[in-house]
Amino acid sequence: MKKVKQIAAVALAAVLAMGALSGCSKYKTLEDIQKEGTIVMYTNAEFAPFEYMGDGNQVSGVDVDIANEIAKDLGVKLQIENVAFDTIIGAIQSGKGDFGAAGMTVTAEREKQVDFSVKYVKSRQYIVQKADSNLNTLDDLKGKKIGVQLGTTGDLIIDDNLKAAADREGTEENGVLFESGATLKQYGSAPIAAADIATGKLDCVVVDELPAKSIAEKNEGYKAVEMTYADGSTTEEEYAFCVAKGNKTLLDAINKTMQRLMDEGKIDEYVLNHTTK
Ligand code: ARG
């Protein structure tokens, strides 16, 4: 018995060492995916028009349309996993999913964790609020009860601006909202967060432009306003799909389809098709 345990321990150590040497690259290459005949997309369907639960309880949206084209070009079936937004990158890193497609903004922090495709959409942060509210800038959020989707860029911006200078990176100033009485509540979904505006639990929800407009459209008495900084400057960001670090063959294939769709004006078409849904 002891011997068996020892062998098992040695075998485990060897496996771990191999993982460490190969940088723990557990991802499937393009060849693996084509051999298996299925490509796995990770997303979070709380972000219309990019991904939301459509007819027949199926994940639908712009990112799904793009993913279907990728799968078609590769001659494989598309499988979609709908998970919490803040777990998508981990699922791609561990190889559970082949690519992440979730209206995901390219940030320096995320670029350390995954590789991004060509960028396919530009966005900005918006403030969802009651129609009679007057929240237009980050400064207007002082003292307010703010909701966000956990792990999104809206979350990152508000969280960072609640902090004192010493706790922030790349700046020597306190956040705009620091000691203003503003509070941040993180939800699994922006549409669900937005329901708390009606009851007064929140004053607003900070989320990307088109999802913000979609929420405002669906909720009587709500509006969505672009959030600028006090000096009028904007919060530009750009979306891309992500793959495991180093998965070049898959990334090249994704980029090829993505570029074709952009050249054909298809992405704009998908956005139009899924807007106000
Ligand atoms: N663009 C924002 C980000 O990358 C929000 C994305 C949220 N996407 C979603 N499918 N819920 O952080």
Report d(CA 80, CA 67) in Å as an integer: 9
Please tell me if the CB atom of residue 85 comes closer than 6 angstroms to any atom of ligand 1: yes
Using most ligand atoms within 8 A of CB, pick from 41, 43, 46, 47 the residue to mutate for ligand 1: 47
Average pLDDT of span 28-36: 98
Instruction: State yes or no: pLDDT of 14 exceeds 90.
Output: no
Quote the percentage of the chain above a pLDDT of 90: 88
Instruction: State yes or no: pLDDT of 152 exceeds 50.
Output: yes
Using most ligand atoms within 8 A of CB, pick from 149, 206, 214, 236 the residue to mutate for ligand 1: 149
Closest CA to 41 of 92, 105, 85, 94: 92
- Single-letter residue type at 138: L
Q: What are phi and psi of 214, to 5 degrees?
A: -65, -40
Average pLDDT of span 191-212: 98
Q: What is the pLDDT of residue 244?
A: 98
CA distances from 67 to 78, 124, 144, 241, 253 (A): 7, 23, 38, 9, 11
At residue 105, the 3 state secondary structure works out as strand
Instruction: State yes or no: pLDDT of 31 exceeds 50.
Output: yes
How far is ligand 1, taken at its centre, from the CA of residue 20, in Å? 31
Quote the percentage of the chain above a pLDDT of 70: 90
**pLDDT averaged over every residue in the chain:** 93
Average pLDDT of span 182-186: 98
Average pLDDT of span 146-174: 97
> Is the torsion defined by CA of 62, 64, 69, 74 positive or negative?
positive
At residue 276, the 3 state secondary structure works out as coil
Instruction: State yes or no: pLDDT of 117 exceeds 60.
Output: yes
Beta strands in 106-247 (DSSP E): 114-116, 121-123, 125-130, 145-149, 183-187, 204-208, 222-226, 237-239, 242-244
